[in-house]
Structure 1
Amino acid sequence: MNKELWEKAVAFHGHACPGLALGVRLCEFVQQELGVGVSPDEELVCIAETDSCPVDAVQAILGCTMGKGNLLCSRAGKTAYNFYDRGTGTSIRVVARRNTAELSREERRRQILESPLEDLFSTTEVKYPLPETARIFKTVTCAVCGEGVAEHMARLQDGGIVCPHCFRAYDR
Structure 2
Amino acid sequence: MNLTEIAKVKSKYKEPIGPDKMKKTESIIEVKEEFEDGLYGIEEHEYLQVLFYFHKSEGYDLISKRRIGGEKGLFASRSPRRASGIGITTVELLKREGNKLYVYGLDAIDGTPVVDIKPYASFMDEASISLQKNNPRYKIEKMIRYQNIDELLLKAGEFHGHYCPFLALGVLAAADALKRMQKADAGMEKLLAVVETNSCFSDGIQVVSGATFANNALIYRDLGKTAVTFVSREGGNLRYYLKNDKFLEKDYTEAKELFEKVVARREGSRAEEKKLKELWKKIAFEIIEEDIAKYFKVERDIEIEVPDYAPIFEDKYCQECGEKIMAVKAVEKENQDYCKKCAQAEYIQLDGSGLTVKKFD
TM-score range with shorter-chain normalisation?
A: 0.7 to 0.9
2:170·2:202 contact (CA, 8 Å) conserved in 1? yes
Q: Larger relative contact order (C-alpha < 8 A, sep ≥ 6)?
A: 1
Instruction: Could you tell me which runs of 5 or more consecutive residues in structure 2 were left unpaired when the two chains were aligned.
Output: 1-147, 256-278, 347-361
Secondary structure of the equivalent of 1:122? strand
Aligned to 2:327: 151
Distance in 1 of aligned mates of 2:221 and 2:320: 30
Cα deviation code 1:123-165 (max 9, x no counterpart): 3465641111122211211123322111122221232112233
Distance in 1 of aligned mates of 2:162 and 2:179: 25
Taking structure 1 as reference, are residues 167 and 79 closer, same or farther at Cα in structure 2, changes over 3 Å only? farther
1:24-39 map, 5 Å? 24-37=171-184, 39=185
Aligned to 2:297: 122
Secondary structure of the equivalent of 1:33? helix
2:231·2:237 contact (CA, 8 Å) conserved in 1? yes
1:68-83 map, 5 Å? 68-83=215-230
Cα deviation code 1:7-45 (max 9, x no counterpart): 1111121211112111110112212332223x2021101
Aligned to 1:85: 232
Instruction: Could you tell me which runs of 5 or more consecutive residues in structure 1 were left unpaired when the two chains were aligned.
Output: none
Q: Output the TM-score relative to the length of structure 2.
A: 0.43
Aligned to 1:98: 244
Report deviation, 1:75. Answer: 2.1
Cα deviation code 1:53-96 (max 9, x no counterpart): 12222222111111211112122211111221112x11232211
Taking structure 1 as reference, are residues 120 and 32 closer, same or farther at Cα in structure 2, changes over 3 Å only? farther
Taking structure 1 as reference, are residues 162 and 128 closer, same or farther at Cα in structure 2, changes over 3 Å only? farther
Distance in 2 of aligned mates of 1:36 and 1:166: 44
C-alpha RMSD of matched pairs (Å): 2.3
Secondary structure of the equivalent of 1:114? coil
State which structure, 1 or 2, has the greater radius of gyration over its C-alpha atoms: 2
Q: Output the TM-score relative to the length of structure 1.
A: 0.84
1:64 alignment partner, one of 190, 202, 211: 211
